[in-house]
Structures are given as C-alpha cells and as structure tokens.
Structure 1
Amino acid sequence: MRKAFLQLHTAVFIAGFTAILGKLITLNEALLVWYRLLFTIITMWALFALQKKLQRISTKDMLKITGVGVVATLHWLTFYASIKYSNVSVALVCFSLVGFFTAIFEPIITRSRINIIELLLGLIAVLAISLIFHFDPTYKTGIIIGIISAMLGSIFPILSRGQLKFHSAETVTVYMLTGGFLFLTLALPFYLKLFPTENLLPQGSDIIWLLILAWVCTVWAMQLSMRALSKISAFTVNLTYNLEPLYGITLAFLLFREDRMLTGAFYVGLGLIVCSVLLQTLLVYRSGRKISTKS
C-alpha cells in the first residue's frame, strides 16, 4: 500500500511539472502539443502492443474516442497557450476551474443530478479568478485562454469515461491521443498561418524537454496512476489530484521566481482556491468514510 501511495503522489507531482515544461519549451503551443502527441503515441503504440494490452474496437467506437481526443488536444493547446500568454501560476489557477465546469457539464452529458456542493465549491474558484482578473489585468489574455482550457479539460474526461466501461484504459488512451494528433496535424498549417512562428523544429534543449513531457509526464505518469488505482480507491486517487495546481505553482515559484511577478490579488485568489480544495477534500473524505462504513 505504501508503494501505491508513493506511485500516486509521484504521478500527481509529475502532472504539476507539465506546466513547467510548457514554460521551458520555446516552441509555440501548437507545435509543442504536436510534438508531445507524436512522441507519446509512437511510444504507447509500441509499448502497449508489446504488452498485448490493445483491443480491437468497432469503427463507431473508434470515431467516438478520436472525437474525445480532439477535445483533449484543444485542452492541451489552450493550456499551453495560457502559459505562453501569462505564466505558469496564472494558467494553473485557471486550471482549478475544472471542478466548477465538471459540476455543470457532467449532469448535462450524463443526464444525472446536479451536485450543489460541488457547484458551490467551484464557484469559489470562479470568485478567485474574477478577483485576479479585476485587480490585475496584466494577464487578461492568458486568463481568458486558461478559462477556455479548464472548460475543455472538464469535458473530455466525462466523455472518455463512457468508453472506459467497454474498453481498456490503454486502448481508449491510445486511440484518443492518436485522434488528437491526426486532428492537430490537419489543423496545424492553418494555425501557423494565423499565428506564425520562426521555429518549426525543436531548438537546443527543447527536444530533451519534449521527450520528458512525452515519456515521463504522459506515458510513465499514466502507468503510475493505473498501478496506484489497482491498490487505492478511486476517490483517494481523484482527491490527491487536487494537489496538481499547488505542486505546479510551488515549482513555478522556486524555478522561475514567479512570486515576484504577481500582485496581492493573485495570492488572495490562490488562498480561496486552496480553501476550496481543503473543503472538497474534507467532504470527499467524509463521504468516503460513510460509504466504507455502510459497506
């Protein structure tokens, strides 16, 4: 069990590090995501094929999963664009809105009841973002893009969850990321025409950061999460992932000294988000205890 918890927290820490890599890589957001997907799907196809973990699926399911991959790719694209137009800390604070958007979109997509408590906790994150946006308009563009990213980031897990009922996690992930890669490959020429850039190929240390992003932060992190999930309850795994933005922001403060670039409004907003995470942690822990007691 101790090993499983270590694997879980390693995976969450690595997830927080993806934002740092987005800052370090000099490519624009579209090329960054394209190379990340390229290296990831080549590795996953080879790895899962050797492990015989890939399943055959129908054309209909394949199209559904690749469609989810398009949404996931747009989430990554806007997430890294938010970093490029603001900084790591601002992008990760906006990422905290995922819970709010999930509370809205999950009942609509799954036709279930709205969880009022989750919605209220999400509204705390909305208040935090509005405070930062109102008092510190420096990163206005990055905040707007970050909010769009959070919305997209809430939708694709809901859509992919339905497919996980019928197919293995490896199969869904590989087809999802492959669909996203094909979509971005087709869209890339138009994107680069709208947002031209001089560097089309990774420069200097970019290739190293991209390989770390693909192999460590995507392939390995996913494997760690799956191994942890086999030993730890799903609610504990989801609960621990609330720490991802906090890990990322701490790393940004240490590596880039972003704490010097931010105003008091940011810290007030960050404090509200930390409070919402703690409240959510308490509520989920209590509900988990109740479930375990009843069972």
Structure 2
Amino acid sequence: MTHGHPSFRKGLLLSNLSVLLAGPTGLFGKTLAHLPIGVVVLARSAIAALSLFVLLRALNRTPARSKPLSGYYRGALLTGSLLAFHWFTFFWSIQRANVAVGILAFSTFPLFATFFEPLVFKQRLRAIDLLWATLAIGAMALIVPSGSLSDHVTQGALLGIVSGALYAAYSVANKALLQQGQQDVMTLTMTQNTVSAVWCLPALWPLWQLGYQPTLADFGQLLLLGTLLTAGLQVLFIASLHHIPARLVGMITCLEPLYGILLAYFILGEIPQPHTLIGGACLIATVLASILTSRPDTLGRPA
C-alpha cells in the first residue's frame, strides 16, 4: 500500500483529527489540579463510557459480541488498565512540571512504539525507525533543563515518558485486537473506559472524607473532557489503526504539543522556555520525516 492509497489517506485524516482533540486535554491537568488525579481519571473514563453507550443505543446498535468472548474481555482488561495508568501519569506529569513539558515528554511515545510493534507483529526493526526514535530522545534532552531527580521539571518529564510508554503499549495492543477481529471500535472503547473507571474507584474515598463538593465549573470541564475529548478522540484514534501502523500514529501524535502549548499560552498564560520550544520543534520535524519514510508494506489494511 502506498502513501496515495485511500486507506492510508483516511488513516492520516483520522489520526490528525484525534490529535486536534487531544491538544486541549493537557490543560485539564492544571485547571482541575484541585481535584485528586484519580477522581479526574475516574470521571473522564466513566463519562466517556456512558457517552459511548448512549451513542450505541441512539444508533440502534447493541454492543458487539466478540468470538471468543473471553479473548475480547482479556484484551479489553489489558488495554483499559494501560489507559487508566497512562492518564494518571499524564496528568501527574503536567502537575509536577507544566503543560508544555508534560505533553512533550509524553510525545516520546513513538520511541516505545518503534520497539513494541515489531515485537508483537514479528516485524524487523529498520535502522531509519531507530534514527527517528533517537532524534526524539535527543529533542527531549533539550527540553529538560536539569538531570536532577529533585527538580520538579525533571520529575514531570520522567512521568510524561512513563505515560508515553504506557500509551505506546495501549496503541499496539489495540492494533492487535483489531487484527484478531475485535473490530467494533465503539464497543471496545466503551469497555476500555469502563475498566479504567473501575481502577480509579478508590480515589473517591479521600474525596468523600474531605467532604469536597465539585463546582458547576468542575462538572462542565469533566463533561467536556469525558465526551468530545475522550470518547470522540479514542474512537478516531483506534479507527486510524485500521489503516496505518501504530508507530506512524505515534509520530503524528507528536503534533499534539503544538496545539497544547498554544492553548496553554492563550488560556493559562504559560510561556515555554526557549529550550522547550527548540526541543518541540525538533519533535515536529521528526514527525514529518517519519511520515515521508514510513514503510509502505506496513501501512495497515483497507477498511
């Protein structure tokens, strides 16, 4: 399949739309910082799962049943767990550092996908893929000003890298599920969000003990986060994996910092340091180069 194939172009479109929706999510790590991270992830997951359930009913579709059913639930349990811990470390990263560092650190995701996908699908690593991954790491070195673990920016960057690794595992596992016949995107995403919400239920206990009452603004932000910026984003993301490799999706995801940093500047007044902008520019350049050199024989399959 070549870059001009309709399926490839469709995959690029779906992936880029998901990144546009992902851009604002980092801001909630700051605007909802007064809430425990587990509560934010719980609300995000539960609202997303409910939104997808309502959408399935509105479309007169019942959640698809997979054969074998046990394999589907094992896959959903794994991917839902990865999703929960990815979100937790992502928001924690932003709270420890800032939106720019957190999102850029998460964007090391392609490095991990470069290693995970060939391992799962029994493909050979290409030298060019390792080169782009190495350049992504080099860009991260420009972003982190200190190597000291006591520095809150370094801590945030490390958490963001962990979040990226979890997200890479999530994306590759999703692609494996799709290739095994788990092709109902909304059903799979709904189940994953339900698993993620269950993981975060213990976070309600300290909130209840403190007697905190969420405000109307909190509910509004969580509703936006759980519907359009989670349910909508995930459906587009998983659907894109039908058409292009997870590592290419990951490279496109590196464009997320561009949108996130701009929104953080205009909404939160966060101004990134020059070295952060230079590192971010290097990541975006790596994204474009990876698309131009992606391997035609692994660009996915037609819908």
* TM range, smaller chain: 0.7 to 0.9
Shift of 1:8: 6.6
**C-alpha separation in 2, matches of 1:50 and 1:224:** 19
Q: Which amino acid aligns with 2:273?
A: T
Partner of residue 200, structure 2: 184
Q: Is the 8 A contact 1:95 1:245 kept in 2?
A: no
Shift of 1:77: 0.7
* Count of residues in correspondence between the two structures: 279
Runs of at least 5 residues in structure 2 that lack an aligned partner in the other structure: 1-5
**C-alpha separation in 2, matches of 1:269 and 1:13:** 20
- Aligned-residue CA RMSD (Å): 3.3
Runs of at least 4 residues off by over 6 Å: 4-8
**C-alpha separation in 1, matches of 2:122 and 2:46:** 35
Partner of residue 25, structure 2: 18
State how 1:203-222 maps to structure 2 within 5 Å: 203-222=215-234
Question: Comparing 154-163 with 12-21, which one deviates more in the overlay?
Answer: 12-21
Q: Which amino acid aligns with 2:164?
A: A
Shift of 1:39: 1.0
Confirm whether residue 144 of structure 1 aligns to residue 158 of structure 2.
yes
Shift of 1:198: 4.8
Shift of 1:135: 4.2
Q: Is the 8 A contact 2:106 2:162 kept in 1?
A: no
Percent identity among equivalent residues?
24
State how 1:82-97 maps to structure 2 within 5 Å: 82-97=93-108
Match of 2:113 among 91, 102, 119: 102
Q: Which amino acid aligns with 2:197?
A: F
Shift of 1:171: 2.0
Q: For each residue in 1:121-141, what CA deviation from the matched residue of structure 2 results, as whole angstroms up to 9, or x when unmatched?
A: 111121122233244845121
Confirm whether residue 29 of structure 1 aligns to residue 44 of structure 2.
no
More helix by share: 1
**C-alpha separation in 2, matches of 1:177 and 1:139:** 30
Partner of residue 60, structure 1: 71
Q: Which amino acid aligns with 1:64?
A: G
State how 1:232-251 maps to structure 2 within 5 Å: 234=244, 238=249, 240-251=252-263
Shift of 1:70: 0.2
Question: Comparing 116-125 with 96-105, which one deviates more in the overlay?
Answer: 116-125
**C-alpha separation in 2, matches of 1:128 and 1:82:** 18
SS at match of 2:293: helix
Q: Which amino acid aligns with 1:145?
A: L
